[in-house]
Amino acid sequence: MSYIILLFFCLYLPFQLAVNPATGIDLASGRIIILLLALFWILEGLKNKKIIIAYKTQTLLAVSFLFLSFLSLIASQNTEWSFRKLAFLFSIFPIYFIVSGIIQNKQQVEKIIKYLVWGTGIIAIIGIIQFLLQFILGLDKSLRLWASITPYFLGSSFSQAVLENSSWLVNVSGKDIFRAVSLFPDPHMFSFYLGLIVPWALVLYFFSPQKKRIYLFIFFAVLIVDFLTFSRGGYLGVLAGIVFAAVIFWKRIGTKHKKRLIWSLIVMVLIVSVPNPISERFLSSFNLNEGSNKDRLETWKNSVNVIKNNALLGVGLGNYPLEIKPSADYREPIYSHSLYLDIASETGIINAFIWIALIFASITSYLYRSRKNAFYLGGAISLVIFSVHSFFETPLFSARVLPLLLIIIALSAINNDQND
């Protein structure tokens, strides 16, 4: 039963209708499913007199991360905000223990990945349709239409905050463009989700004996819509993933495939070299005089100063905005624009290193497993893309991105790899 619910959750994850249990509180339905799934998993374990826990490095690091996040309450000046953030983390992290306990072999891993890829394929197509609507209905009508849809998937309060501080538009060559967001709150979280899945779609194309064309179609749909998010962090993440994959695969592929890889890289360089909205957005990432880049550098500087003054426990989970603006509201979008700086500033430098170690241990595990089965390289590339993208944005409190990340980390920590 738990396994069936888990498969449904993997397919449903990128959609997630919102629940409003009280005024001002929006609850992603996926969080409820995770808690129900945890209950089923525990009950089944008690029935079978065996609850499987993956005693791996990743498990120790995940527990340590949660512990230090809780410990940061000591430094918190607004404990209500901290408890709300903790409630989020403790409602999402069980998915790691569930997946690493339920999944026991490569066949189950592949099925989980297939459901994740199928769900992402659907959400990617929705994103492409949403992006194209502005050229059919016009920009204003498209924005109003999507603003009327978002409350069903984000909740009334959260969707209002998103619309008041919207990053939906990007100005390219003096023209406003409605970025691909699909059913996500913003293009950055959408890009994080897509980046985590795009390597798995390609891996399924190469290694799945059936539906190869479908997986190739999903791969290109996910990659194209990722470009349409105009997320520069996402672009750099994908670029890092490509370089990482090229280095890893170089010794494993023949001369014929090496030539194809080189030609593919040449084509990508030419695409970036030709003036177009995507290449312009990508190249602007390296322009330190560009407005948003200047603001980001100043934000990073402020975060480093906060970390210097609160190195051990941080300022308390969820309390970074108050360090920058004492009168800030809970949903005001004030953060470090870097996952690593956010973790360090709110929960301490040690916890930031624990998070980095968790990702590194998972990548290492996937690389080790890939020696027997190259299918697992998808996980390593996925986490490399996420890690690089995380230098520029903070996805930790995304009800869609964090569960997906934890599922991928959990699959690197499964106990029984005899069928890998």
Phi first, then psi: what are they for 18, rounded to 5°? Answer: -95, 150
Helical (H) or strand (E) element with 380 = helix 377-389
- Running along the chain, 420 residues long, what does each successive block of 10 average in pLDDT? 91 91 78 93 85 88 97 94 95 95 90 97 97 94 93 85 82 87 95 97 87 90 93 92 85 64 68 64 59 80 94 94 89 88 96 98 95 92 97 94 98 70
How far is the first Cα of the chain from the last one, in angstroms, to the nearest whole number? 24
Distances (CA, A) of 370 to 139, 249, 420: 46, 11, 9
Q: CB of 120 within 8 A of CB of 12?
A: no
Measured N-to-C along each axis, helices 377-389 and 349-370 cross at an angle, to the nearest 10 degrees, of 150
Question: What is the rounded distance in angstroms from the CA atom of residue 13 to the CA atom of residue 391?
Answer: 24
**The CA-based dihedral angle spanning residues 301, 304, 308, 313, taken in that order and rounded to the nearest 10 degrees:** 150
Look up tokens 């009327």; give the residue.
Answer: 148
pLDDT of residue 104: 86
Q: Position 259: which residue type?
A: K
Contacts of 296 (CB under 8 A, 6+ apart): 337, 392
Q: Bridge-partner residues for 263, per DSSP?
A: none
Task: Look at residue 392 in the predicted model and tell me its pLDDT.
Answer: 93
- By the 8 A CB rule, do 234 and 191 touch? yes
Position 310 scores a pLDDT of 93
User: Residues 6 or more apart from 301 whose CB is under 8 A from it?
Assistant: none
Q: Of 187, 15, 32, which Cα lies nearest the Cα of 116? A: 15
| Nearest residue to 34 via CA among 53, 10, 14 | 10
Half-sphere exposure of 276 (CA within 13 A, CB side): 12
What's the confidence (pLDDT) of residue 419?
Answer: 47
Residues 412, 414, 416: CA angle, nearest 5 degrees: 130
155: left (phi over 0), alpha (psi -120 to 50) or beta: left
Predicted local distance difference test score (pLDDT) of residue 313: 93
How far apart CA 351 and CA 198 sit, in angstroms, is: 29
Neighbour tally for 120: CB within 10 Å: 27
* Chain centroid to CA 275: 29
Q: What is the mean pLDDT of the chain?
A: 88
Distance CA 300, CA 298 (A): 5
pLDDT at res. 1? 76
What distance separates the 2 farthest-apart alpha carbons in the chain? 64
Closest CA to 234 of 197, 203, 274: 197
Of 184, 194, 205, 198, the C-alpha closest to 242 is: 198
Question: Strand 169-172 relative to strand 175-178: parallel, antiparallel, unpaired?
Answer: antiparallel
pLDDT at 253: 61
Query: Can you list the pairs that 41-46 forms with residues at least 24 positions away whose Cβ atoms lie under 8 Å?
Result: 41/2, 41/98, 41/101, 41/102, 44/1, 44/2, 45/101
Q: Where are the domains positioned within the chain?
A: 2-411
- From the list 272, 206, 209, 262, the residue with the least C-alpha distance to 238 is 272
CB 157 within 8 A of CB 202: no
pLDDT at 218: 95
Enumerate residues 6+ apart whose C-beta is below 8 A from 394: 335, 336, 337, 338, 339, 342
